[in-house]
Each structure stands twice: as structure tokens, then as C-alpha cells.
Homo-oligomer: A and B are copies of this chain.
């Protein structure tokens, strides 16, 4: 018997009508003879509404209480979904993160899963039930309610699929898969039928919003095949799985862009060992994820260091940098929010040269200046002016023949 984990995001269960449609599809899958485990997010704007309530009540939001508050969302969606399934004569039972055995560390609002004990889910499956599990939530080793942070429901789905050794983890969303670029910017972007984990990781880490980065990392580590697809059209979507050795790898699979980062530059820093280390240690201690880093070649014994951080962390990062720099002998700290990152991603580029050259030529041809560069074996990212991002994505998509 095939065991399918199906995860439905907030837009998929936005209102009673959508919940009925999703229940229909689950019943259909179950009635074809599959075992089905469902992971569900809170309904549409529910989480936003709860956050607004918290702001109306208090300026102080302890993480433990935020987690208690937000986990009300999935309770509502999952119990409603079970009722809709019951009406279709499908036995269904909802499980909170705690009841499903999602054990996390104690970092409220962004906890990590440390263990999964899905005994109750396994029993429910054996008894012919469709277990419906709350996404996004868990219970800490200290028995407090936790949430997994952004994209947490995807992570729950992949983690449960791993723990149950499921045949596939289907992630249902409001788009029909992973595209060669954002279709709002590149209208003739193509849906990719499959990707390997490394490519999907790079896409998720560089502006692709379809799958949460942590869920892809989890799937890659445990080799869980993911099928990203639409709960509105139900058509086949994009498979994310282990690289198939027999297939020729695409030179470039996708062009992504990310406008959520900001650039900080520290000028005239003495060019001696340990300077950069002490700055980035301070930033890391504040849990700020630094993405691209560029240090210029020193000419007069001083150097400029530029790096990017999430724009939401810009204020804190600036404060930290300004505090640290004088001690290190630096001069000035500059901030720039008007940047964007475009990335070319493809598993094939690690064996085929020329991608870097074509990328630079393409951007140059558009008269777009590259401010920073970072690369991985299967990715090239360029930081550019934000107002040039659409033009850059379109030009690169075309230059690498992705619209064919």
C-alpha cells in the first residue's frame, strides 16, 4: 500500500468551501486504496489576525505565549477538515504537534525538531483513519508548546513523511509547481517537472518561495521525495528528489531573485587577520544570517567589507556593526536597502564552464552593474540595483534558453 503525506497550506484551506474541496480530494486519494496522512496549516489570514490581536493587547509578546496563541490556528483548520472528511464517510482524527510526537528544542517561535515519536499517528493509520496533523507546531522537551517558524508546516510534512517512511510528500499550494523564474516577472517561465535536492535548496535559499528552505534540507538529508503541486488545479507539479545519475543535468534550471536583503558596507577597516571574524561573530551572536560577503583587495592597508543581511534585521545589524567597528579601527558604516539579488541555479553548471561568463555578459548587455558576487558549485548570485531586477531576471531567463 502506498503511503502519501499531503500538506495543505493556508490558501488551500482558506474558507469552508476550500476545506470541503480539499476533503474531497483527500477522500478520493484514500478511496483509491492509499494510506493518507494530512498536514495542514492555519486557514488563510488566521495567523495574521492572531498577530494583530496580540499587538492590540500588548507591546510585549513572550515567545512562549505567542506560540500558544498561534497554534490555535491549526487546531481550527485541522478539526474542521476532519469534520468535512467525516461527512464523506472517511474516518479522520486530528493531532496537535504534541499528539503527533513532534518534539522540538525550546526556541520559541522558531523551534527545531529534535525527534519525532509518531506512535499515535501510526496507530490511527492502522485503524483505517486519515490522521490530520497540525503543521508548524510541536512540543518542546520541556513540554511547552512551540512553533517551527516560517515555512514550518512544510517542515512538519517532510518530517512526518520521514518518520513514517512515506512514499511521497505532496506539498499542495496555490501555484502549480516550481518555475524557471517567477511567472509574474517572466510570463513565459516554464514549470519544472523535476529538480534535485541541491537545486531546490539553492532556489529556496535565493528567493524561491514555493518551498521552505528547512523542509528541503530535511527532505534531502532523509531522501524523501517531494511533489510540489496546486490544490486549485490538482495537475502534476514539480518533483524534488535525489539526482538521477542516468539523466543529463540541465545546465541551468532556474533564475531566482530576492529583494528581501539589504547591504551594509564598513569602510576603511584595517586589513589584518581577525577583523572580519570579530564583526561576523557579533552578528551571529545576534542570530543575524549574513548572506553575501565581499572584502575588497587592500591597497593602503585598509579595506572595505560589504555584506548582506535580511532587511528585517538591518536595524540590528547596523547597530552591531557601528558598535564593533570603532574598536576595530574602521571608519564609516553605510546601509543600502535598494539592492536585489539575482541567481542562476543549475546542477549542470558544476561540470560545464561558461555560465559565469554568460551571466556577466548578459547583465552587462543590459547595462546592469554587479555590486557583489557569490557562487556555489551550482549557483551564481549577483547583487544589483533593485530597480533593475525585473530586467535582469528576464534577460537571464532568455539568455539561458529557459523559455524554450
Binding site for B on A (CB under 8 A): 16, 19-20, 50, 53-54, 56-62, 64-66, 68-69, 71-73, 75-76, 78-84, 86-87, 92-94, 96, 99, 120, 143, 145
Contacts and interface: CB of A to CB of B under 8 A. Distances in A.
A57 B16 contact: yes
Contacts of A82: 62, 65, 68
A87 B75 contact: no
A12 B57 CA distance: 14
Contact of A79 (B68, B93, B94): B68
A229 to B, nearest CB: 23
Contacts of A68: 75, 78-79, 82, 94, 96
A80 B69 contact: yes
B83 A58 contact: yes
B72 A87 contact: no
A21 to B, nearest CB: 11
Contact of A75 (B75, B84, B92, B93): B75
A59 B62 CA distance: 39
A53 B69 contact: no
Contacts of A64: 93-94
Contacts of A93: 64-65
Contact of A65 (B20, B53, B86): B86
A11 to B, nearest CB: 17
13 contacts: A16-B53, A16-B57, A20-B58, A53-B80, A54-B79, A57-B81, A57-B84, A58-B80, A58-B83, A62-B83, A65-B92, A69-B75, A69-B80
Contacts of A76: 50, 53, 69, 72
Determine how many copies of this chain the complex contains. Answer: 2
Nearest to A76: B72
A51 to B, nearest CB: 11
**Chain A at the B interface: mostly helix, strand, loop or mixed?**
helix
A15 to B, nearest CB: 8
A101 to B, nearest CB: 12
Contacts of A75: 68-69, 71-72, 75
A17 B331 CA distance: 48
Given A62-B82, A69-B79, A76-B72, A99 B143 contact: yes
Given A19-B57, A20-B57, A57-B80, 5 more contacts: A58-B83, A58-B87, A66-B79, A68-B75, A69-B79
A257 B381 CA distance: 76
Q: Return the 4 tightest CB-CB contacts between A and B, nearest first.
A: A16-B56, A69-B79, A58-B83, A68-B79
A65 B94 contact: yes
Contacts of A78: 68
Contacts of A65: 79-80, 82-83, 86, 92-94
Contacts of A56: 16
